Structure 1
Amino acid sequence: MIVGNKKSFAVEFTQSESDPKMGFGKVWIQSEFYGTNEDLIYFQGYLISLLEELINVNKIDFESDKLTQSELFEHFENKENRDEYLIRGSTFTDDFTAYGFEKNGIVNLIWKMWNDKDILFSDLKDYGTNIKLRFAEKSEIENVKIKLLEKASVQQWL
């Protein structure tokens, strides 16, 4: 199932047949995916927690518009307080290093796959290690989270 619009913000989730509280998911931001839907995750603990993490990113204290994607990524990598922007995610996002920040009600996510060797998941085989910067309105992420939780409640995933 896909909740939202992949061209702006969406979550793809398939419930596990063996455990209704688990499944496979990935996040889509402006037609780019983050995570893998081949790693079994807890719906509430991993997927919903990642959405909450995105909703609650910190505001930035510098001008990001003047930086290239590489410069912006390096800025977060080298920043003393990088943990304030680091997106921790969970097992389905372990192959990525990601940072999130808010600017004017827009959640920005900048990430890259940290290793393109020994990839376990087929959807990441050709992903590459290019830096990706995408954004979505905070309200859209919140709406997707609400819709996911509603579907989970109706289908008794929780």
Structure 2
Amino acid sequence: MREAHIRKRGFTGVHMLVIMLAFFSVIIAVNATMAVFANSSWSGFVVRNSYVASQEFNEKSAQWRAQAELGWGSKLALSDGRISYQLFDRDDLPVAAVKGTVSIRRPIGDSEDRTLLLKPVAGGELEADTALRDGAWIAEFEIDAGLDHPYREIRRLTVQDGELR
């Protein structure tokens, strides 16, 4: 007789309480996990002062346009722990670069960011020693090529087995 009475009760308030607790426990656990990941990854920092960056926008745009009008191109290579960069003019002749820097960073995260001094070697080529782990990188070049402003180029790189892909 007792078994029949238990089967008749069916879905109770205790069942609902257990379901609600389980549901909200999963939501809280996922939110806590995502908050920990967000806090331990990229800070989101882009510029130190967005107002100052906005005021410099027109000047930087004019510099980019003047640079684009030069019609210069570049060649980038990475092998044996060395990154090499060379500029070419519109006639595909090497441009003599005095010196330069390259800021290398991951698209997300700043733990592997570095800035390297590019030193001139034969033929106007610039080189620096660096070892990049596999994956995506962003390289920002600033080259002193005798212009009023440094020649700037930003490249997205994919490294696999120590070489560009």
TM-score interval (norm. to shorter): under 0.3
Structure number with greater Rg is 2
TM-score, normalization by structure 2:
0.25
Q: Identify which of structures 1 and 2 has the higher relative contact order when contacts are C-alpha pairs closer than 8 Å and 6+ apart.
A: 1
- Tell me which protein shows more helix as a share of its residues: 2
